């Protein structure tokens, strides 16, 4: 029985892999090494059982599918829940209302005047939702890999910090300026890499991200160097004086509004001439150009719009934290945002939101098992790549209804 | 059939070098309004390179490619960007199908309308009246073309899921969506069975009549070529070796030699 054998091998392999982690422990008190063999047996057994069960169930599913094909039922008949949701606007609208209402009451439910920890966590999670949605335009829709996306976030944050410190400009003035500044940098980066693809694009964007961080770290007078800039003013609300909790709530609603705006704009763009061109560019660049799409303009607009959101939310980030330094803009953050887009499903707005929330909130609430936090995180990533390599919500088919008045015309032809 | 005044595309002395290799050498040809012209030749003769040169994928080393778009002054398009050439009115299909696989059949065609619409980013975000109107026009026109190539039923399928012949027809419809006056088909019948080829034959003739386009095609299926072409150009080793009506080409000894070589009497 080959399933049995293979599962056995997997069990043994896991035992071997986990040897240093789960079995060997150095007891520093007694200066001796503990060998916890029981752990290893358990792990081996669990891995074996899971693998065996998994193999059996995939085999059964394949058999069932083969039966279905033989009976003449098409494979594609089964629609994912996301596809059903997108096909039914009334249902998705209702769901959207419920989620929006929940998001509005959320901070009042979880925070007290002393404890607004959960609100602050949610603010940073929502900041990453906006970043994920922004990068989704560049990577998910237009297919332009960007490994230095966090640099645009930094541009937004530093724009506000510097304008507030040097020119005493307020938050609301700087918010659009941060976005526009990031957009400008998006175009500046976009020009030299118009002709690049794949690996080369990854290298250049990676370099751009690193350069930005190094410039920030090394220029003391202008950007405050590695120490960063402190005392950045919080968002102002008609000159009212807010206490700690109110400040958090205010940040929360600002970033929530920005999330809503991002969703709205991205959704409209995705369903327009611009979005179609982005997707065509992602699918096949040569065919796309041969069909009359201006590659330069389409790529630049994807970079610029992706960067724009990062710049906007960078301003909010700086204002919410009062303090920024280059350590908030590392390659790890770029990689994190990219994994949100990939895990969520390239181009899927809902998928990216879910993935961004999961990736930011899970580590936060997994602090209880802090030791294994990254291990669990890694395991989740690996499992996702095995079971849903296309992301949480894969490419959905969109239907385009013809205008009812023209329907009769269409039939006549 | 050939009228000097009605020339749509004029290619003279077209030459393309790849490093030391001369892929095309001094090729001349022209297409007039309403014509179906075939470009044939043995494998590696440079036919697809000719296509790539005149559609802006490559920039030719030498020679002139001049198009006479209806109502516009003649224009030399050497080295012009491919999307500009398409919006001037010359659209193509590809030898190895290049659809947008993860987009639906309808979306594939809608891309063809891109260069005929002008909704800007701001229009799209604000959903202005213009963007709504253009969107409707795009959808309507796309459905019309889908119906023409017989794919209306599968409009909402992913194009990757279509059968091979259907993908070829979709590529033609996508090229037509750019509203061209000259359609360039690169081996439209490649990989099709005889039944599908016969249907394609009718489709091409019908497209010429309905959409008022001239058609330049590369094809290996001689039956198709002889059936529908008004004129044929023959290439071998990057050079034009013959031209004429299907009957003339069939009897041209130079063409027979190019195709059958010298082993014919062995």
The 10s digit of each residue's pLDDT in B188-206 is 998 888 898 999 999 999 9
Can you give the pLDDT at residue B263?
54
Distance of alpha carbon A278 from alpha carbon B107, whole angstroms: 12
| A145 and A265 share one domain | yes
> Residues 6 or more apart from A88 whose CB is under 8 A from it?
none
Residues A236 and A131 in one domain: yes
Which CATH number covers residue A236? 1.10.3470
Distance from CA of B259 to the nearest CA of A (A): 31
CA–CA dist A180, A183 (Å, integer): 5
pLDDT digits (tens, 9 = 90+) for B111-160: 999 999 888 888 888 898 999 999 999 999 999 999 999 998 888 889 99
User: How many residues does the structure list for chain B?
Assistant: 266
Report the C-alpha gap between B20 and A277 in whole angstroms: 37
Instruction: Give the closest-approach CA distance of A239 to chain B in angstroms.
Output: 32
Of A283, A400, A403, the CB nearest to B102: A283
What is the rounded distance in angstroms from the CA atom of residue A354 to the CA atom of residue A393? 10
Q: How confident is the model at residue B1 (pLDDT cuts 50, 70, 90)?
A: very low
Mean pLDDT, all residues of chain B: 89
Q: Could you tell me which residues come within 8 angstroms of residue A303 by beta carbon, excluding any fewer than 6 positions away? A: A138, A144, A146, A186, A187, A189, A190
> Which pLDDT tens digits describe chain A residue by residue (413 residues)?
677 888 888 888 888 888 887 778 888 888 888 888 887 888 888 888 888 888 888 888 788 777 766 665 554 445 677 777 777 778 888 888 888 888 888 888 777 777 788 888 899 999 999 999 999 999 999 989 899 999 999 999 999 999 998 888 888 889 999 999 999 999 998 888 888 877 888 899 999 999 999 999 998 888 888 888 888 888 877 777 777 778 888 889 999 999 999 999 999 999 899 999 999 999 999 999 999 999 999 999 999 999 999 999 999 999 988 899 899 898 988 988 998 898 888 888 888 999 999 888 888 877 777 677 777 777 877 888 787 778 888 777 788 877 655 444 444 33
Query: Does B248 score more than 80 pLDDT?
Result: yes
> pTM of the entire structure?
0.85
Is pLDDT above 60 for B173? yes
- Beta strands B36-40 and B214-218 are parallel
Q: Running DSSP on this structure, what letter comes out for residue A401?
A: P
Residue at a domain's end among A53, A70, A87:
A70
User: Which of B169, B185, B161, B187 is closest to B109 using CA atoms?
Assistant: B169
With contact defined as beta carbons under 8 Å apart, do B160 and B102 qualify? yes
Alpha-carbon distance of A18 to A31, in angstroms, equals 22
Which of B110, B121, B140 is closest, CB to CB, to A402? B140
Helix or strand holding residue B27 (H, E): strand B21-32
Q: Using CB atoms, pick whichever of B111, B127, B144 lies closest to residue A277.
A: B111
Same domain, A184 and A261: yes
Q: Is residue A392 part of a domain?
A: no
Structure tokens at A398: 């969109």
pLDDT of residue A403: 65
Which of these three, A45, A70, A95, is where a domain ends?
A70
Residue B38 has pLDDT above 90, yes or no: yes
A399 within a domain of the structure (yes/no):
no
**Cα–Cα dist A396/B208, whole Å:** 35
User: How far apart are the C-alpha atoms of A21 and B90, rounded to whole Å?
Assistant: 64
Residue A396 belongs to a domain: no
Question: Is A136:A341 a contact under the CB 8 Å cutoff?
Answer: yes
User: Using the beta-carbon criterion (under 8 Å), do A287 and B94 form an inter-chain contact?
Assistant: yes
Q: What is the pLDDT of residues B72-124, one digit of tens each?
A: 888 898 888 999 999 999 999 999 999 999 899 999 999 999 999 888 888 88
Query: Among candidates A87, A348, A406, A298, which has minimal Cα distance to B139?
Result: A406
Is there a single domain that holds both residue A14 and residue A161?
no
Q: What is the ipTM of this complex?
A: 0.90
> How many C-beta neighbours within 10 Å does residue B262 have?
7
Q: Which of the residues B80, B88, B96, B125 would you substitute to probe the A interface, choosing the one with the greatest number of A C-beta atoms within 10 Å?
A: B125
Alpha carbon of A265: minimum distance to chain B alpha carbons (Å): 6
Is the residue at A231 inside a domain? yes
CA atoms of B213 and B234, how far apart (whole Å): 22
Are residues A329 and A186 part of one domain?
yes
Same domain for A382 and A306 = yes
Nearest to B117 among A273, A286, A395 (CB): A273
The reply to whether A195 and A61 lie within a common domain is no
Same domain, A65 and A116: no
Residue B22 phi, psi dihedral angles, 5° rounding = -95, 105
Selected for mutation to probe chain A from B111, B119, B140 (highest A CB count within 10 Å) is B111
Q: Which residues contact A122 (CB under 8 A, 6 or more apart)?
A: A106, A107, A252
A355 in the same domain as A209:
yes
Give residue B126's Cα distance to chain centre. Answer: 37
Residues linked to residue B67 through DSSP beta bridges, in sequence order: B9, B75
CB–CB of A375/A367 below 8 Å? no
Residue A292 to residue B92, Cβ atoms within 8 A: no
Cα dihedral: A239, A245, A246, A249 (round 10): 130
Residue A315 forms part of a structural domain: yes
**How many Cβ atoms from other residues are within 10 Å of residue B142's Cβ?**
26
The SS3 of residue A394 is coil
Is the distance from CB of A171 to CB of A187 less than 8 angstroms?
no
Could you give the dihedral angle defined by the CA atoms of residues B119, B121, B123 and B126, in that order, rounded to the nearest 10 degrees?
A: 150
Rounded to the nearest angstrom, the minimum Cα separation between A376 and chain B is 32
Asked if residue A203 belongs to a domain, the reply is yes
Does the distance separating the beta carbons of B100 and A279 come in below 8 Å?
A: yes
The answer to whether residue A413 is domain-embedded is no
**What are A's interface residues with B at a Cβ cutoff of 8 A?**
76, 265, 268-269, 272-277, 279-280, 283-284, 286-295, 301, 305, 395, 397-403, 406, 410, 413
Asked which of A70, A85, A102 is the last residue of a domain, the reply is A70
pLDDT of residue A266: 93
Smallest Cα–Cα separation from B57: which of B69, B68, B65, B49?
B49
Same domain, A183 and A55: no
Closest CA to B258 of B77, B50, B42: B42
Number of domain units in chain A: 2
Within 8 A of B110 by CB-CB distance, chain A residues are 276, 400
Is the domain of A209 the same as that of A339?
yes
What range defines the domain where residue A65 resides?
2-70
Q: Could you tell me if A234 and A337 lie in one domain?
A: yes
Residue B261 has pLDDT above 90, yes or no: no
Residue A299 lies in a domain: yes
Contact status, residue A385 vs residue A342, Cβ threshold 8 Å: no
């Amino acid at each position: 029985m080959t399933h049995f054998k293979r599962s056995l091998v997997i069990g043994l392999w896991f035992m071997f892999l986990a040897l240093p982690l789960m079995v060997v422990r150095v007891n520093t008190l007694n200066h001796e090494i503990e060998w916890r063999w029981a752990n290893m047996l358990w792990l081996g057994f669990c891995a074996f059982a899971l693998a065996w069960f998994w193999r059996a169930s995939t085999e059964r599913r394949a058999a069932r599918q083969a039966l279905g094909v033989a009976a003449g039922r098409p494979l594609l008949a089964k629609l994912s829940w996301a596809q059903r949701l997108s096909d039914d606007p009334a249902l998705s609208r209702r769901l959207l209302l419920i989620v929006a209402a929940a998001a509005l009451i959320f901070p009042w439910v979880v925070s007290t005047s002393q404890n607004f920890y959960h609100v602050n966590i949610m603010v940073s999670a929502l900041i990453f939702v906006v970043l994920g949605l922004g990068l989704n335009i560049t990577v998910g829709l237009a297919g332009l890999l960007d490994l230095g996306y966090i640099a645009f976030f930094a541009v937004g944050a530093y724009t506000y910090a510097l304008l507030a410190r040097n020119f005493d400009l307020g938050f609301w003035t700087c918010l659009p300026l941060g976005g526009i500044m990031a957009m400008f940098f998006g175009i500046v980066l976009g020009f030299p890499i118009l002709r690049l693809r794949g690996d080369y694009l990854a290298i250049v964007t990676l370099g751009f991200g690193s350069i930005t961080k190094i410039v920030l770290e090394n220029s003391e007078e202008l950007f405050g160097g590695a120490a960063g800039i402190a005392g950045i003013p919080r968002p102002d609300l008609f000159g009212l004086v807010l206490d700690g909790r109110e400040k958090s709530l205010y940040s929360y609603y600002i970033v929530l509004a920005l999330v809503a705006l991002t969703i709205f704009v991205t959704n409209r763009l995705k369903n327009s001439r611009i979005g179609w061109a982005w997707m065509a560019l992602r699918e096949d660049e040569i065919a796309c150009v041969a069909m009359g799409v201006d590659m330069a303009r389409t790529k630049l607009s994807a970079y610029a719009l992706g960067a724009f959101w990062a710049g906007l939310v960078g301003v909010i980030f700086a204002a919410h934290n009062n303090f920024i330094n280059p350590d908030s803009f590392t390659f790890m953050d770029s990689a994190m945002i990219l994994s949100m887009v990939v895990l969520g499903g390239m181009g899927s707005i809902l998928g990216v939101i879910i993935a961004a929330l999961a990736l930011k909130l899970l580590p936060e609430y997994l602090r209880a098992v802090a030791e294994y936090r990254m291990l669990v995180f890694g395991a989740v990533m690996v499992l996702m790549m095995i079971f849903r390599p296309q992301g949480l919500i894969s490419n959905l088919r969109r239907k385009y209804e013809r205008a009812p008045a023209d329907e009769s015309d269409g039939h006549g032809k | 059939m050939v009228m000097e005044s009605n020339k749509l595309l004029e290619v003279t002395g077209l030459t393309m070098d790849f490093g030391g290799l001369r892929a095309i050498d001094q090729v001349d040809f022209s297409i007039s309004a309403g014509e179906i012209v075939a470009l044939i030749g043995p494998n590696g003769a440079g036919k697809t390179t000719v296509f790539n040169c005149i559609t802006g994928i490559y920039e030719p080393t030498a020679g002139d490619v001049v198009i006479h778009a209806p109502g516009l002054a003649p224009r030399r398009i050497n080295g012009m960007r491919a999307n500009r050439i398409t919006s001037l009115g010359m659209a193509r299909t590809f030898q190895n199908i290049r659809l947008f696989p993860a987009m639906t059949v309808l979306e594939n065609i809608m891309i063809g309308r891109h260069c005929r619409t002008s909704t800007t980013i701001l229009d799209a975000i604000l959903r202005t009246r213009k963007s709504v109107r253009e969107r409707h026009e795009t959808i309507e026109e796309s459905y019309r073309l889908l119906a023409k190539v017989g794919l209306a039923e599968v409009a909402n399928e992913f194009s990757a899921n279509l059968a091979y012949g259907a993908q070829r027809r979709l590529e033609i419809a996508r090229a037509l969506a750019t509203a061209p006056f000259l359609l360039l088909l690169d081996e439209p019948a490649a990989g099709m069975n005889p039944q599908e080829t016969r249907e394609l034959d009718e489709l091409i003739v019908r497209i010429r009549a309905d959409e008022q386009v001239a058609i330049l095609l590369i094809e290996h299926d001689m039956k198709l070529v002889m059936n529908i072409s008004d004129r044929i150009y023959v290439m071998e080793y990057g050079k034009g070796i013959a031209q004429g009506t299907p009957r003339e080409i069939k009897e041209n000894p130079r063409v027979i030699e190019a195709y059958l070589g010298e082993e014919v009497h062995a």
